Amino acid sequence: MRPSVRTSVGTVLAALILAAIAAGPDQHRATAAEVRYEAEQATIINGVVENDYSGFTGTGYVDSANAVGAAIEFSVRAPAAGSRALVFRYANGSFSGRPATVTVNGTVRGTLQFPGTGGWTTWRTQTLTTALSAGANVVRLTATTRRGLANIDSLSYDDGLPSSPSPTASPTASVPPGTPISDPIPQEPIRSDLGLILTEFAQFPPSAPVPAPTDPRLMRTARINYLGQVPGSTRLFTPDLNGKLYTLPANGGTPSVYLDVAATVGANFFSGRGLGSGFGFVAFHPQFATNGRFYTTHTEALGALGSITPDWTQSGAVIHSVLTEWTATDPAAASFSGTRRTLLRIGFATYIHAIQQIDFNPNATPGSGDYGLLYVAVGDGGRGSSSTVPQQLNVPHGKILRIDPQGTNSANGRYGVPAGNPFTGTSGALGEIYAYGMRDPHRFSWDTGGTQRMFLGHIGEHDIEGVYDLRAGDNLGWSEREGSWVFDRQQPCNLYTLPADDARFGYDYPVAAYDHNAANIPCGDDAGKAIVGGFVYRGNALPALRGKYVFGDIVDGRVFYTNEADMVRGGALAPLYQLRVVTPAGAQTSMATLAGDSRVDLRLGTDRAGELYLLAKANGRIWKVTGTTGVASR
């Protein structure tokens, strides 16, 4: 046994691997299948992975420290609620037993003795029968004596199913079609012991929407909504929806105005109505240090509505979203001086769900097909709940576009349509479209490690906040689907189970999600929940976060994570964990407390090193994640 250490090793299995599916339809099993989770892939508290003693399965076993509290946590997925026999495979070469408590989702379910097996290469099992919830369960084995745990090889259990279920089946799959679902995702995010240590990084000056708003949700200290790093520079940048682009020193401190977008645009600039109206986002070209180019999206109304014709528009448009290219004369200058030109302009029939994020793929390298192409997330203009606009390929609303800012083959001649886009050359479809079927594609990012997937945080209508593994040509299903449930525009107050022939539609469903718990919220009221997408952490300063997709809820400020490896297309929803928030002094707090408001208006940002930042519009502050405390739940 080892002296006291702490490490987190690998990740557990993302979903049940059902042998009958792989084997083919003529080899479906008739008995329950054993599902095994290797200990070396679990979360380890005070222990290490070893392979000195033979007879183990997988790539090793866990050798814990000789200490009370040494533990292993397994993330166990059950396809249905019910009693299961949890079987721990272990070896104990000492004469004394090494007892350990078993907790499931934080509740103690029993104690196992783990008596001596006669040698460290002799493996036996200890079994505890207990109830598991449908979906994700955290099973923790904790040493109760100073001898620590026995060497643990694996945890296994019977899934209780006589045949292979569909891996996309939801907890409500047994509900008859046409029956309203009151709680689409019964499993609440699991409270993790892992906490983020937040250190205040910057305070932004107050700003005001124009014209003056009547919606109290717009009355924030500063409507800051992102933090990134200027390519080729140590400077950080942050946009404020009310019109100014700020830069910050690398170590935080006092923001400086780099560009006043509102003042430059003039009298048509509009940020006084709609939660996303104003100076929405900025994306710097990867070669900004030499070419000086960056891109913004902002909202115009007032005189622009009658005097400027959009490239596309919904009837009765009340705002225009404008995508602009700026070219700085001196990219290293502290403030902007240079030129600008409009790339495209889109009209929207309501004040919500216009252009959201714009960005370049950070994984693309010069010469690759994606290098220098700009992704543009366009909302449905609030029309998806009453029409099929997001499914219509001849308009940009409810889509993510991908364009070449330096090309000229678009209909307006101001940008290019990449030949590699999925609908380029398709009759009746816009070649600009990269993916479609969206309501409010709010924030997206690329994992800069692993398989470099693109993840989208998608804000739902009635009940579902989803994370999607987004690929070219994907159709998220809105407004025929909300998450992986049926949305009926004639019955918008409920969600329904998928039809038996759903596969024929080809919709792409979330890899992680949480719901509104909207059963007691009047239909049409603001549920007070909306996802803000985040980032897979690949930095070096916070080892406990590596490989975790960190995101949150805009409104209440909860911060979540799920493991990147658990987010599997076509699989069950990945388990979600709620992170604690901790001050540098070690006191547990919350984002609502730090923001001084129950409506946090949370956003996330990252620098080039991959380190994370949390932003709150409520009081216009940014915090850097400077450390972690405790242990991840998985």
Give yes or no: residues 239 and 346 share one domain. yes
Element holding 63 (H helix, E strand): strand 61-64
Q: Is residue 527 a part of any domain in this protein? A: yes
Q: Could you tell me if 204 and 316 lie in one domain?
A: yes
Residues 148 and 221 reside in one and the same domain: no
Low-confidence ranges of the chain (pLDDT < 70): 1-33, 159-174, 633-634
* 170 inside domain: no
Last residue of a domain, one of 101, 136, 158: 158
Q: 521 and 617, same structural domain? A: yes
Q: Does the residue 364 lie in any domain?
A: yes
Query: What is the DSSP code (8-state) at residue 147?
Result: T
Which of 158, 180, 214 is where one domain is finished?
Answer: 158
**pLDDT score at 7:** 37
Predicted pLDDT at 2 = 41
Same domain, 350 and 468: yes
Task: Please report the pLDDT score of residue 346 as a whole number.
Answer: 98
- Number of domains composing the chain: 2
User: Among 108, 138, 158, which residue terminates a domain?
Assistant: 158
Residues 244 and 121 both lie in one domain? no
Q: Do 438 and 396 lie in a common domain?
A: yes
Q: Which residues does residue 133 pair with via DSSP β-bridges, in sequence order?
A: none
Return d(Cα 488, Cα 202) in angstroms, integer: 45
User: Does residue 246 share a domain with residue 139?
Assistant: no
433 & 582 share domain: yes
Identify whether 454 is part of a domain: yes
CA separation (Å) from 59 to 40, 52, 153, 238? 7, 11, 9, 45
DSSP string, 166-234: PTT--TTTTSPTT--BS-S--SPPEEEEEEEEEEEEEEPPP---SSPPS-GGG--S--B---EE-TTSS
Give the three-state DSSP class for 446: strand
Residue 51: which domain range? 19-158
Do 118 and 41 belong together in one domain?
yes
> What angle (nearest 5°) sits at the alpha carbon of residue 576, between those of residues 554 and 491?
65
- Asked if residue 566 belongs to a domain, the reply is yes
Residue 183 inside a domain? The answer is no
- pLDDT of 136: 85
Please tell me the predicted confidence (pLDDT) of residue 172: 54
Residues 142 and 208 in one domain: no
Q: Sheet with 338-348: list strands edge to edge.
A: 281-284, 293-300, 319-328, 338-348, 312-313
In a domain, 321, yes or no: yes
CB-CB contact of 178 with 496 (8 Å): yes
* pLDDT (tens digit per residue) in 151-204: 999 999 875 543 333 333 444 556 777 788 889 999 899 999 999 999 999 999
Task: Order across the sheet with 244-248: list the strands.
Answer: 228-229, 236-239, 244-248, 256-260
Residue 147 tokens, joined: 């001898």
> What CATH number is given to the structural domain containing 423?
2.120.10.30
CATH code of residue 135: 2.60.120.260
Tell me, yes or no, whether 523 and 621 share the same domain: yes
Residue 550 lies in a domain: yes
